[in-house]
């Protein structure tokens, strides 16, 4: 079993905590990797991070040392995420963290990473809540916010679908409320009408009452699903049962739903990354990922994690495996130092730890894949 693929339990070293001998001069250089890895949505994030680590080590490592991942599962739970963050923060061999995946977990963990005498730089590949902007000097992310996703979906509904009536079903959590709020504001601001606007939890016994009420109100031109894949799959199944056939829009939280085939066929999904987006670096990444993982394709979480590992490797080469120096280097990416051109696009951080230059695109589910819809009629 490779170092990049095994689970490691962080342990406080016996010598002086965060001393030169413990923290950065001997042994492997360690990066924390935190997310819901027992769930399908965490799979690509972990696999892509492991792929990046293998590439770096095959090329000679960093400063003559190997790179290693400390992998901890936060179960996409805020309380668990705090515990994970404490373990990673307290391990002096961990110099930075890739994660967390969900907004709620990242917001909770960010408070830990930014506190104490030895805070830890963390970069999320996919936590999109606007509340994360400026959460702390050690908090970064490489994805657009919910505001960008909600705005792009509303533009698509009006400009490409010519929808006048839209129904919204949103997961009642930080992510769902964020996408829903911006979409509703943008869509109604352009003259659209909301025929339904309902929160839900994934444990809801049935979505049919929601959809039946929409049908009785005369139907809808489009349905926005602002949630995650499990709930979205059940909503699509219920649409068939009720007999509604609206255009379906969804935020990036449903990533992977295209694998359900005909169930999701034709659904439009907002994304910060698509496997078929242009660029030689991305084409090579997708080719390598497919070869390594039996033809699977990376999602935005995986592509983001891959970029983060390579960005952190660039930073470590420049300033060494020191938490404070790495944080300062990251804060200057795109200003004090060159932006990082990764497979997800250009990464340049602003003063809030965000990447305002990252754009949201629309993909469409076709034949079990999510492909770009931007240039399609």
Query: 271, 298, 318 — which closes off a domain?
Result: 271
Residue 190 lies in a domain: yes
Same domain, 199 and 52: no
**Residue 121 and residue 172 in one domain:** no
Q: What is the pLDDT of residue 376?
A: 65
CA-CA distances (angstroms) from residue 260 to 16, 265, 296?
A: 52, 8, 14
Percent of the chain residues past pLDDT 90, beyond the cut: 90
Clarify whether residues 74 and 173 are in a common domain.
no
CATH number for the domain harbouring residue 313: 3.40.50.2300
Residue 326 lies in a domain: yes
User: Do 26 and 134 belong together in one domain?
Assistant: yes
Task: Verify that 260 and 157 share a domain, yes or no.
Answer: yes
| 367 found inside a domain | no
- One domain, residues 110 and 130: yes
Residue 3 within any structural domain of the chain: no
Model pLDDT for residues 65-79, shown as the tens digit of each residue: 999 999 999 999 999
Q: What's the rounded mean pLDDT across residues 360-374?
A: 95
β-pairing, 369-372 vs 361-366, is antiparallel
Same domain for 50 and 195, yes or no, is no
Count of domains in the chain? 2
Q: Which long-range contacts does 52-58 make (Cβ < 8 Å, 24+ apart)?
A: 52/305, 52/306, 52/309, 52/310, 52/313, 53/3, 53/4, 53/309, 54/2, 54/4, 55/288, 56/309, 56/310, 56/313, 57/3, 57/4
Asked whether residue 220 falls in the same domain as residue 160, the answer is yes
Q: What is the pLDDT of residues 339-360, one digit of tens each?
A: 999 999 999 999 999 999 999 9
Please check whether residues 138 and 153 belong to one and the same domain.
no
Residue 57 sits in the same domain as residue 139: yes
Given a contact cutoff of 8 angstroms between Cβ atoms, the answer to whether 93 and 23 are in contact is yes
pLDDT at 19 over 80: no
Q: What is the predicted pLDDT for the residue at 374?
A: 86
Looking at the predicted structure, is the pLDDT value of residue 14 above 50? no
pLDDT digits (tens, 9 = 90+) for 279-310: 999 999 999 999 999 999 999 999 999 999 99
pLDDT(26) > 80: no
Residue 131's domain comprises 20-144+277-358
Convert the pLDDT of each residue in 43-99 to its tens digit.
999 999 999 999 999 999 999 999 999 999 999 999 999 999 999 999 999 999 999
Residue 6 has pLDDT above 60, yes or no: no
- Same domain membership, residue 157 and residue 266: yes
**Within this chain, do residues 163 and 215 fall inside the same structural domain, yes or no?**
yes
pLDDT tens-digit profile of 236-257? 999 999 999 999 999 999 999 9
Dist CA 127 CA 123 (whole Å): 9
Q: What pLDDT shows up at residue 8? A: 39
Last residue of a domain, one of 254, 271, 288: 271
Instruction: Confirm whether 370 is domain-assigned.
Output: no
Q: Which of 271, 296, 324 is the last residue in one of the domains? A: 271
User: Mean pLDDT over residues 123-150, rounded?
Assistant: 96
| Domain-embedded: residue 172 | yes
3-state secondary structure of 174: helix
Q: Is the pLDDT of residue 22 over 60?
A: no
**Each residue's pLDDT tens digit, 162-212:** 999 999 999 999 899 999 999 999 999 999 999 999 999 988 999 999 999
Percent of the chain with pLDDT strictly greater than 70: 93
Average pLDDT on 302-323 reads: 98
């Amino acid at each position: 079993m490779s170092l990049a693929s095994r689970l490691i339990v962080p342990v406080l070293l016996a010598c002086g905590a965060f001393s030169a001998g413990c923290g950065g001069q001997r042994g492997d250089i360690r990066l924390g990797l935190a997310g819901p890895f027992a769930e399908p949505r965490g799979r690509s994030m972990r696999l892509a991070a492991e792929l990046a680590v293998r590439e770096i080590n095959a090329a000679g490592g960093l400063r003559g040392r190997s790179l290693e991942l400390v992998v901890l599962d936060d179960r996409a739970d805020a309380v668990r995420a705090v515990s994970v963050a404490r373990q990673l923060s307290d391990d002096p061999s961990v110099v930075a963290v890739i994660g967390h995946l969900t907004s709620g977990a990242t917001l909770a963990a960010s408070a830990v990473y930014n506190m104490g005498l030895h805070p830890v730089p963390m970069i999320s590949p996919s936590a999109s809540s606007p509340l994360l902007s400026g959460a702390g000097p050690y908090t970064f992310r490489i994805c657009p916010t919910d505001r960008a996703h909600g705005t792009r979906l509303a533009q698509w509904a009006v400009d490409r679908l010519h929808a006048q009536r839209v129904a919204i079903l949103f997961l009642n959590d930080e992510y769902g409320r964020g996408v829903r709020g911006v979409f509703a504001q943008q869509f109604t601001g352009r003259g659209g009408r909301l025929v339904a606007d309902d929160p839900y939890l994934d444990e809801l016994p049935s979505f049919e009452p929601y959809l039946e009420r929409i049908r009785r109100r005369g139907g809808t031109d489009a349905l926005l699903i602002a949630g995650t894949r499990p709930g979205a799959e059940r909503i699509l199944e219920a649409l068939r049962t009720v007999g509604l056939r609206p255009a379906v829009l969804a935020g990036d939280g449903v990533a992977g739903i295209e694998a359900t085939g005909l169930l999701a066929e034709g659904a439009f999904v907002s994304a910060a990354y698509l496997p078929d987006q242009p660029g030689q670096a991305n084409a090579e990444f997708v080719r390598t990922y497919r070869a390594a993982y039996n033809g699977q394709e990376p999602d935005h979480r995986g592509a983001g994690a891959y970029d983060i590992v390579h960005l952190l490797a660039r930073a470590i080469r420049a300033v060494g495996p020191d938490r404070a120096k790495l944080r300062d280097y990251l804060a200057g990416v795109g200003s004090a130092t060159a932006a990082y051109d990764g497979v997800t696009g250009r990464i340049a951080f602003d003063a809030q730890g965000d990447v305002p230059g990252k754009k949201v695109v629309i993909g469409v589910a076709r034949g079990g894949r999510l492909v770009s819809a931007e240039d399609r009629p």
